[in-house]
Amino acid sequence: MRIEDQPAYVLHARPWRETSLLVEVLSLEHGRLGLLARGVQGPKKQALRAALQPLQSIRFDAVMGGELAQLRRAESCDVAPRLHGHAMLAGFYVNELVMRLAPRQDPLPELHAAYGQLRARLEQAGPLAWSLRRFERDLLEALGVGFDWSSAADGEPIDPAARYRLDPQEGPLRQLSERSSQERRALATGAALLALAEDRCPGAADLASLRPQMRAVLLHHLGGRGLKSWEMLGDLSRPAE
């Protein structure tokens, strides 16, 4: 099967043999694809190598041949975001998350659109943590495992003053108020869940409450095996993530 002029975002690229690259992309019509880019070394291939860097928006031609497609052409559509510090780590995290969770050769146009929006936000001055939580929400939805963020698992409306645990299969579960302060800090606030449902940025404390619960849900779908980027982020990324 031939793939022609296909929009995609580059997720990862690594050397293969002496002159080639193995590239992972998130394409619009074919989902996540592995591409074999042969003969990309040398001064005449500089533009091609630049097009195959992570976060780059490209259009490409390829020929499917088993699990990997043979890349025939790739051109940059724009200039990839110039990221530093927390934003750079966030880009690495999102790419790793998509590679781990998005199935190969399964069209996910909603995920492709969400990735493009996240990519643009990484260069903006808004709260980085909010951009990541929105993308995690949209990723779960695109994969068919998302929640109704405005309703608890029992069907009751989310109470903005309550605390919730996110069950990966059932959704938000309201928790008793008799928990210790440390246990409550690990739970998502109802106000944060409603903000996520309405796509509006919550206050700093509510936003921070989403992180541990979203991570627990993602870890479930990752089969219990965490991400390398989580280890890299460590204490450094806590203000941003």
Q: How many angstroms separate the Cα of 141 from the Cα of each of 29, 136, 153, 166?
A: 18, 9, 16, 14
Model confidence at 227: pLDDT above 50: yes
Q: Of all residues in the chain, what percent carry a pLDDT higher than 70?
A: 95
pLDDT at 231: 83
Please answer whether residues 29 and 43 qualify as being in contact, where contact means their C-beta atoms are separated by less than 8 angstroms: no
Are 57 and 170 contained in the same domain?
Answer: no
Give the closest residue to 129 by CA, choosing from 194, 205, 181, 185. 205
Containing structural domain, residue 91: 85-237
CATH number at residue 150: 1.20.1440.120
For the segment 12-28, the average pLDDT, to the nearest whole number, is: 93
- Does the pTM surpass 0.85? The reply is yes
Q: What is the pLDDT of residues 102-142, one digit of tens each?
A: 999 999 999 999 999 999 999 887 789 999 999 999 999 99
What six digits make up the tokens of 99?
């590679």
**Domains contained in the chain, number:** 2
Chain-centre distance of CA 39, in angstroms? 30
pLDDT at 239: 43
Model confidence at 156: pLDDT above 60: yes
Q: Identify the domain boundary among 31, 46, 76.
A: 76
CATH number at residue 41: 2.40.50.140
pLDDT at 121: 94
Model confidence at 49: pLDDT above 90: no
Residue 162 DSSP class: S
